[in-house]
């Protein structure tokens, strides 16, 4: 263990599986999905059923101006802060060294902004003059504030009094994992030693579901129609320099999670590429991530994959990983547990990756009959336990071409203490 290492020292999430780490762990190990039928539409969905998000919002007054994305994001940040064992004293001691890098939402639709425009719609056309003179006032007061892409991250900074580097990652579905990677880079560059990161997402609007369905990307309840099963989530992480983490929690027994490498890339026209070219680009991306850490494929214990439900992408992802890693590393995925959580989808995968590393288990992959190469022995079919050092590749790929990977290693608490870290 080196003193310049970077840890994910805390994490918290609200997904369709629950809100507490014990809930997530129990259902995840047992292979129980939180997806449920939509009450009015022929789609499955992953809904956060926690009825009292306000219990995790420090400033309850702020709830009046927050959308559900904001509430889920701040609540998950509180859970991550609690899991890391951070206190007000930790934040106030050097508040300029603790920042917030947070993924922006994705699912704000146009329907919630429609009424002012409809009021100015006359004779089959929009009366721009009437809208500019009168109907723009039909927007509720402060309507735009909770819909700004930096609202959730900004509110986390405000509610916890954090004055370090703060910005939002506006990168669609991969934003939450990119935020963790950017925090990792910021700590390595000594621009702070602790960051709150992650992403949040609410149940999408009807027009977004309709657009996905028209493009053949949305899963129906019928088994033969694969695709995305949409969910909502709030997911947060505490990314921290190892020195500060060790000084705060010298007697921690739960393994720490070290970030070994971060790599972010983009595949243009990902859905229309030939399978061989798409697979090659994914292989290049993953190999670049391994090279950054100086890790060989044979060193990996498991790979947490997107496997979001789009056949062409899933095949390319599995083929690329199997080609690079061979038959040694287990293949894992959390999408079938809580859905493709849009702007929080990469963060959700990362959360369940961290959960498995810290709690010493690998969860089964669900719906194997719909996965590429169903006879592939690499898929994890049942709960497995593990001990000692584990290295996990967490890989995200989505239908817009966003691709991001983090390479993680579990570090045993006994190893940390025996090494000893000087202040």
Structure confidence by residue, pLDDT tens digits, 62-88: 888 888 899 999 999 999 999 999 998
Q: Determine the Cα–Cα distance for residues 194 and 202; give it in Å rounded to an integer.
A: 27
Q: Per residue in 183-222, pLDDT tens?
A: 999 999 999 999 999 999 987 777 788 888 888 899 877 6
What 3 state SS string does the chain have?
CCCCCEEEEEEEEEECCECCHHHHHHHHHHCCCCCEECCCCCCEEECCCCCCHHHHCCCHHHHHHCCHHHHHHHHHHHHHHHHHCCCHHHHHHCHHHEEEEEECCCCCCCHHHHHHHHHCEECCEECHHHHHHCHHHHCCCCCCHHHCCCHHHHHHHHHHCCCCCEEEECCHHHHHHHHHHHHHHHHHCCCCCEEEEEEEECCCCHHHHHHHHHCCCECCCCCCCCCECEECEEEEEEEEEHHHHHHHCCCCCCCEEEEEEEEEEECCCCCCCCHHHHHHHHHHHHHHHHHHHCCCHHHCCEEEECCCCCHHHHHHHHHHHHHHHCCCCEEEECHHHHCECHHHHHHHHHHHHHHHHHHCEECCCCCHHHCCCCCCCCECCCCEECCCCCEEEEEEECCCCEEEEEEEEEECHHHHHHHCCCC
User: Structure pTM?
Assistant: 0.91
Q: For residue 227, what are its two tokens?
A: 């695709």
182 in Cβ contact with 169 (< 8 Å) = yes
- Chain segment 246-300, per-residue pLDDT in tens: 888 777 778 899 999 999 999 999 999 999 999 999 999 999 999 999 999 999 9
- In the chain, the domains with their CATH numbers are 7-105+149-419 (3.40.47.10)
pLDDT tens-digit profile of 21-39? 999 999 999 999 999 998 8
Q: pLDDT tens for residues 97-136?
A: 999 999 988 776 666 678 888 899 888 899 999 999 998 8
Q: pLDDT value at position 238?
A: 97
Closest CA to 241 of 254, 225, 258, 228: 258
d(CA 131, CA 121): 9
């Amino acid at each position: 263990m080196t003193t310049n290492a970077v840890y994910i020292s805390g994490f918290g999430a609200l997904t369709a599986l629950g809100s507490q780490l014990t809930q997530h762990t129990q259902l995840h190990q047992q292979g129980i999905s939180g997806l449920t039928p939509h009450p009015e539409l022929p789609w499955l969905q992953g809904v956060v059923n926690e009825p009292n998000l306000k219990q995790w919002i420090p400033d309850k007054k702020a709830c009046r101006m927050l959308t559900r994305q904001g509430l889920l994001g701040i609540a998950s940040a509180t859970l991550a802060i609690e899991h890391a064992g951070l206190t007000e004293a930790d934040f106030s001691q050097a508040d300029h060294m603790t920042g917030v890098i947070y993924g922006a939402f994705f699912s704000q639709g146009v329907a919630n902004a429609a009424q002012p425009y409809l009021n100015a719609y006359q004779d089959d056309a929009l009366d721009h003059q009437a809208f500019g003179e009168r109907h723009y006032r039909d927007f509720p007061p402060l309507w735009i504030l909770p819909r700004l892409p930096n609202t959730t991250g900004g509110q986390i900074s405000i509610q916890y009094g954090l004055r370090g580097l703060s910005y939002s990652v506006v990168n669609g579905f991969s934003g939450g994992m990119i935020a963790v990677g950017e925090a990792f880079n910021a700590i390595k560059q000594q621009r702070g030693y602790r960051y709150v990161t992650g992403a949040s997402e609410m149940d999408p609007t009807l027009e977004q579901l309709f657009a996905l369905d028209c493009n053949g990307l949305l899963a129906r309840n019928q088994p033969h129609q694969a695709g995305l099963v949409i969910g909502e989530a709030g997911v947060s992480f505490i990314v921290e320099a190892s020195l500060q983490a060790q000084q705060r929690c010298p007697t921690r027994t739960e393994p720490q999670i070290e970030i070994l490498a971060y790599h972010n890339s983009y595949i243009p026209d990902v859905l229309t590429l030939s399978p061989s070219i798409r697979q090659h680009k994914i292989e290049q991306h993953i190999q670049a991530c391994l090279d950054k850490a100086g890790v060989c494929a044979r060193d990996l214990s498991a790979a947490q994959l997107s496997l979001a439900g789009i056949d062409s992408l899933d095949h390319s992802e599995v083929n690329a990983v199997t080609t690079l890693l061979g038959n040694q590393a287990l293949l894992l995925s959390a999408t079938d547990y809580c859905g493709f959580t849009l702007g929080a989808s990469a963060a959700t995968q990362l959360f369940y990756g961290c959960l498995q590393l810290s709690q010493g288990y690998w969860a089964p992959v669900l719906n194997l009959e719909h996965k590429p190469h169903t006879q592939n022995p690499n898929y994890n079919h049942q709960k497995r336990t593990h001990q000692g050092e584990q290295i996990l590749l967490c890989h995200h790929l989505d239908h817009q071409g966003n691709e991001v990977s983090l390479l993680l290693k579990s570090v045993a608490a006994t190893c940390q203490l025996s090494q000893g870290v000087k202040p």
